[in-house]
Amino acid sequence: MPSRPYGTICALSKACELLEPRWTLLILNQIWSGYTRFNDIRRAVGNISPGVLSKRLAELEKAGLVERVEDRAKGSVDYIRTQMALDLEPVMDALSIWAQRHIDAEVALSDGDLGSMMWFLGKAVQTEKFPPRRVVIRLHFVDEPGAYPTWWLLADPGSQCEVCVQIPDVDVDLYVETTKVSWNALFLGRSTIAREIDAGRLFVTGDAVLMRTMDQWLPRSVYAKAEGIRMLPAAE
């Protein structure tokens, strides 16, 4: 992939030449997470442009790490990992756990894109833990400088959450006010709901059942239970 090789006869250097280009490991990680369509991969990865993603996917296919599967009848294209990519899973696991243990929480949590974060939340929130009725949650991120600091989650029984930046006049069950860093800390196991409330970075009010069960329906990273995680400071 790089235009100029490292110039050393070393197994690690060859691996770096293949995997170092920006976005490569994140693309593989999102395909690993189950996102196989181009637009889903782009949303899951974050700030990658369509042109760069298209180039990286072509490079990964050429390198033998992904396979492009086209269904002409449906007009769809999926990208799936080859055995070569599957063999990378222990390495990617180890890197993620290393980051949880050794990168300060403030650094690890500071760059999250809110749109990507909310798109993922809508897919991952555990709606089966909600009461058996329509649930509406309003989230306001006080540190979001963009045009959409406020988002809504709407979930009907048996359905995936809808994520909205504008919403008709409906009753809100739960109000959440927080920061992106605080919210991401909960997902990555870098803090807890109680610690964020005590620190004044998380305010929750509304339906008592939704508040009581927040730990159950809020999604967590698979690395949230890694040992020795560097936690977000309990108070600013």
Domain ranges in the chain with CATH number 3.30.1050.10: 106-217
Residue 3 confidence (pLDDT): 56
Residue 1 confidence (pLDDT): 47
Residue 129 confidence (pLDDT): 94
Residue 23 confidence (pLDDT): 93
SS (HEC) of the chain: CCCCCCCCCCHHHHHHHHHCCCCHHHHHHHHHCCCCCHHHHHHHHCCCCHHHHHHHHHHHHHHCCEEEEEECCCCEEEEEECHHHHCCHHHHHHHHHHHHHHCCHHHHCCCCCHHHHHHHHHHHCCHHHCCCCCEEEEEEECCCCCCCCEEEEEECCCCCCEEECCCCCCCCCEEEEECHHHHHHHHCCCCCHHHHHHCCCEEEEECHHHHHCHHHHCCCCCCCCCCCCCCCCCCC
Domain ranges in the chain with CATH number 1.10.10.10: 11-87
| Range 106-217: architecture per CATH | 2-Layer Sandwich (3.30)
pTM of the shown model? 0.85
Residue tagged 């490079």 (tokens): 59
Spans in the chain with pLDDT lower than 70: 1-3, 168, 235-236
Residue 159 confidence (pLDDT): 84
| Fold of the domain built from segment(s) 11-87 | Arc Repressor Mutant, subunit A (1.10.10)
Q: How far apart are the first and last CA of the chain?
A: 43
